[in-house]
Structure 1
Amino acid sequence: MKFIDTIKNIWKIEELKNRILVTLGLLLVYRFGAQVVLPGVDASQLASLASQADQGILGLLNAFTGGAFSNASIFALGIMPYISASIVVQLMGIAIPYLQKLQKEGESGRKKINQITRWLTIAITLVQGPGYIYNLFSILPPEAFVISNQTVFVVSSVIIISTGCIFAMWLGEKITDKGIGNGISLLIMVGIIATLPQSFVQNFVSRVSGDGGGMIMVLIELVIWFVIILASVLLVMAVRQIPVQYARRTAGGGYEKNVFGSRQYIPLKLNASGVMPIIFAQAIMFVPSAVAGLSDSDMSQSIKAAFSDIFGLWYNVVFALLIIVFTFFYTAITVPTNKMADDLKRSGGFIPGIRPGSETSEYLDRIMSQITLPGSVFLALIAVFPAIAVKLLNVQQGWALFFGGTSLLIMVGVAIDTMQQVNSYLLNRHYDGLMKSGKNRKAVA
């Protein structure tokens, strides 16, 4: 079978094999840490915390951390503070000249930006950590705390949670450097996948028992689930090809007039921003309920209730609008149409019917806007589909999180990115073999 042959080829490439083993090992360490309960907390008394994390916006956070939130784990905050810090740094990069300068300095600038992100991550964990600990005090019974001195417990737990987040961040960076795929995204994906079997079993039991609809409804849900996965894959993979022609060079280094070489294409993705708009929007959706919770007024409490229900109408309307806005925003900062136009002009290329230079840049920018709009709307529809599944199909909330939404799109996006990296190793090795010995040669470690 072709799949088995591909696995064999992967195992033959020493560098790729080692990277995959490193990735799996570090992911295993992360999953093990998610099960380690904070010192001073009785693990048998966490039922009320698990109940709190089964629904609402905390349920989504619990899914992202792979159940570490409901386990009162040393990784209770997961990698989310790092994600929040990354979002803040990227947003500040638009307004702060110093960060803009760093973005243009290449690798050295990227390292400085990463260092700023790390320090900001520590600051965020030192704010979120006490909030998580005091939530434990409000939810768990007094006998759940083994350490009687509250101050000692709070200080030690905040230090441990902050250290756990920093260690998770380090794991993600090591996976990116030494493993395969984007480490931070893989940590989130593994956390999400960890909750999938339990969510499916709970939904299955609710369907086959009582008046849930039986096996027919389970099969219908699975068909819908696979259709949404296919739609998500198409959204991530779809591109529009822009034809480009290149003038032939003369012996003197110039270009021959009206003589062109082979036609090539610029692939512009329908969804150039990937899952980042959803992650951006999801991070902001945590803010209204948190801010409204600081006040006891009726309006504040109603706002908190509306934005704590991730399957509610107003939550999903605002969520969808934010995704559309962030899709345009992130596409604008990640697809440099001006640079693309300049590169084409310098290399003697042009888009047929469009003058090189500023007109090419404007044309590319217009095309990006045209394809980004339907892409952003499609992305928003998939993101809010879990709410539709809950309201119309009566799907269990935990299982509904995988009917589109942030969870499914992150899984699909990360899986495709990782498979593309593995595939690039295979193609490069095969290309080397064709040029040298006519077959795959052994990789040099």
Structure 2
Amino acid sequence: MLKAIQNALRIPELRGKIAITVAILALYRFGAYLPVPGVPFSAMLAAYKNAAAGSGALTVLNLFSGGALSRVSVFSLGIMPYITAQIILQMMQAVIPSLGALAREGESGQRKITQYTRYLTVVLSLISAIAYLFLFKSPTYGMDFSQMGIPSLLEDVIVVFTLVIGALIIMWLGEVITQRGIGNGMSLIIFANIMAGLPAAIIQSVVAEGNILVTILTVAVVAAIIPVIVYIERGQRRIPVQYAKRVVGRRMMGGQSTYLPIKVNTAGVVPIIFASAILYLPAQIAVFFPGVGWVQAFANAVSTGWINWILSIVFIVFFAYFYTAMVFNPDETADQLRKAGGFIPGVRPGKATADYIKSTLDHITLPGAIFMAALAVVPSIVFSFTNNSLIQSFGGTSILIMVGVAMDTIASLESQLKMHNYDGFFK
């Protein structure tokens, strides 16, 4: 592992990508501590602690913003407006034929969809910024911007404008990491958000709450779960493929046996991120109605507790199938096999091969998705009765996201290392 990292740092191109990624994540974390102009930092931090004491929704919002919400920083909106825009656009591709055709046009179509995603991100960021303004001025926070020395309306505009610009900067940072860095920028930013709060949660659990035994048990359970997640993430179903013999000039070609690998978890960490984004929406909507009790109760129920567990399982399974269908097309795979002279033993080429691949994909996606959903929910269920802040902030979903993103990043580095004739991380 250490030798592979040294090899990666020896390659100028890869070293530059790593440097860009680290620099952008450091810049992002700096923005999470940079307060909105005119907003008192210490007063807002104290107000958040009082407001979040009995609100699971606020805890979820703060977790996925990397603690930026508690400081009312420039990056308080986090990456969620961009993720929500991506979810909406991807789901619309399945129901709007013109968008679906655009997605199949290749690079030019993807550029168009990316442009639409950016426009939708601006709209969602504006809505979220206005909602946060309502939250900050509600009795929950009790902030009176008229005491800042400038007109209240001007301060409102400054807060909304700053939050929207911060969300757009995060979107740009994520795209730069994706294009010029070492992995998926969206996933890495979420990973940074979750990891940023881990040390503080552990310290609070041990020092402030005195739950040393619970903290040790939590760490032990996490350590035991990680190898299981890695095992499932790297598991695959290998469909045997045989290539027919053919004569090319004076040489006999083909006749080879190989396999078509299909991952148990084809969608990777995306279903968990998408499910978290959907469950995050009620908490986001609740900030529009800070004084309405039933709205706050609904947002808290969806953010934590048994309703959150059930919905997490449903959404993770749904998005596992949905995203797998987006990234893996059995018809195209069957057509490529037919053109290359390959076939699955005992299965006719063409539609029968596509149906066989689709059936195999459906059969392995379901247990994989259920297993990942169980891993996301079971730790939260087991430790929910402890009222421990570490468990409240870092349930199974956070663990799955952190491990999944780390594995995707390592896989990306490994593939680039092999391109330069070096052994990968998993020799």
Report the TM-score when normalising by structure 1. 0.87
Q: CA deviation at 1:304?
A: 4.6
1:230 aligned onto 2:234: no
1:289 touches 1:305 (CA, 8 Å); kept in 2?
no
Q: How does 1:256-405 map to 2 (within 5 A)?
A: 261-288=255-282, 301-302=293-294, 304-309=296-301, 310-392=303-385, 394=386, 396-405=388-397
Q: Give the corresponding residue for 2:158.
A: 156
Counterpart amino acid of residue 417 in structure 1: D
Classify 1:390/1:52 alpha carbon distance in 2 versus 1 (closer, same or farther; 3 Å): farther
Classify 1:193/1:295 alpha carbon distance in 2 versus 1 (closer, same or farther; 3 Å): closer
Q: CA deviation at 1:182?
A: 1.0
Looking at structure 2, the residues matched to 223 and 344 of structure 1 have their Cα atoms a distance apart, in angstroms, of 46
Q: CA deviation at 1:110?
A: 0.7
SS at match of 1:240: strand
In structure 1, stretches of 5+ residues that fail to align are: 433-445
Q: Deviations over 1:34-58 (max 9, x none)?
A: 1010111111102121343465122
Q: Give the corresponding residue for 2:51.
A: 52
Q: CA deviation at 1:386?
A: 4.2
Q: Deviations over 1:351-384 (max 9, x none)?
A: 1111111111111111111111111111211221
1:307 touches 1:314 (CA, 8 Å); kept in 2?
no
Q: CA deviation at 1:25?
A: 0.8
1:79 touches 1:165 (CA, 8 Å); kept in 2?
yes
Q: Give the corresponding residue for 1:30.
A: 28
Match of 2:408 among 408, 411, 417: 417
Looking at structure 2, the residues matched to 296 and 395 of structure 1 have their Cα atoms a distance apart, in angstroms, of 24
In structure 2, stretches of 5+ residues that fail to align are: none
Looking at structure 1, the residues matched to 203 and 83 of structure 2 have their Cα atoms a distance apart, in angstroms, of 30
Q: Give the corresponding residue for 1:80.
A: 80
SS at match of 1:73: coil
1:13 aligned onto 2:6: no
Q: Which moved more, 1:268-277 or 1:84-93?
A: 268-277
Looking at structure 2, the residues matched to 124 and 219 of structure 1 have their Cα atoms a distance apart, in angstroms, of 40
Q: CA deviation at 1:148?
A: 4.0
SS at match of 1:408: helix
Q: Which moved more, 1:48-57 or 1:76-85?
A: 48-57
Classify 1:275/1:8 alpha carbon distance in 2 versus 1 (closer, same or farther; 3 Å): closer
Looking at structure 1, the residues matched to 127 and 91 of structure 2 have their Cα atoms a distance apart, in angstroms, of 20
1:429 aligned onto 2:427: no
Looking at structure 2, the residues matched to 431 and 380 of structure 1 have their Cα atoms a distance apart, in angstroms, of 36
Looking at structure 2, the residues matched to 195 and 417 of structure 1 have their Cα atoms a distance apart, in angstroms, of 21
Classify 1:293/1:421 alpha carbon distance in 2 versus 1 (closer, same or farther; 3 Å): closer
Classify 1:296/1:66 alpha carbon distance in 2 versus 1 (closer, same or farther; 3 Å): closer
Classify 1:187/1:41 alpha carbon distance in 2 versus 1 (closer, same or farther; 3 Å): same
Q: How does 1:109-258 map to 2 (within 5 A)?
A: 109-138=109-138, 139-142=140-143, 146-205=148-207, 209=210, 212=211, 214-215=212-213, 217-251=214-248
Looking at structure 1, the residues matched to 56 and 21 of structure 2 have their Cα atoms a distance apart, in angstroms, of 32
Classify 1:166/1:287 alpha carbon distance in 2 versus 1 (closer, same or farther; 3 Å): closer
1:402 touches 1:408 (CA, 8 Å); kept in 2?
yes
Q: CA deviation at 1:142?
A: 4.0
Looking at structure 2, the residues matched to 282 and 129 of structure 1 have their Cα atoms a distance apart, in angstroms, of 20
1:173 touches 1:183 (CA, 8 Å); kept in 2?
yes
Classify 1:57/1:266 alpha carbon distance in 2 versus 1 (closer, same or farther; 3 Å): farther
Q: CA deviation at 1:391?
A: 2.6
SS at match of 1:245: strand
Q: CA deviation at 1:114?
A: 0.4
1:389 touches 1:403 (CA, 8 Å); kept in 2?
no
SS at match of 2:72: coil
Q: Give the corresponding residue for 1:438.
A: none
Counterpart amino acid of residue 19 in structure 1: K
1:311 touches 1:386 (CA, 8 Å); kept in 2?
no
SS at match of 1:356: coil
Looking at structure 1, the residues matched to 341 and 400 of structure 2 have their Cα atoms a distance apart, in angstroms, of 39
Counterpart amino acid of residue 88 in structure 2: V
Q: CA deviation at 1:24?
A: 0.7
Looking at structure 1, the residues matched to 157 and 33 of structure 2 have their Cα atoms a distance apart, in angstroms, of 21
Counterpart amino acid of residue 409 in structure 1: L
Classify 1:302/1:386 alpha carbon distance in 2 versus 1 (closer, same or farther; 3 Å): farther
Classify 1:14/1:66 alpha carbon distance in 2 versus 1 (closer, same or farther; 3 Å): same
Identity fraction in percent:
39
Q: Deviations over 1:85-137 (max 9, x none)?
A: 01110011111122112111111111111000000000111111111011011
SS at match of 2:69: coil
RMSD: 2.6
Looking at structure 1, the residues matched to 405 and 130 of structure 2 have their Cα atoms a distance apart, in angstroms, of 31
Classify 1:90/1:142 alpha carbon distance in 2 versus 1 (closer, same or farther; 3 Å): closer
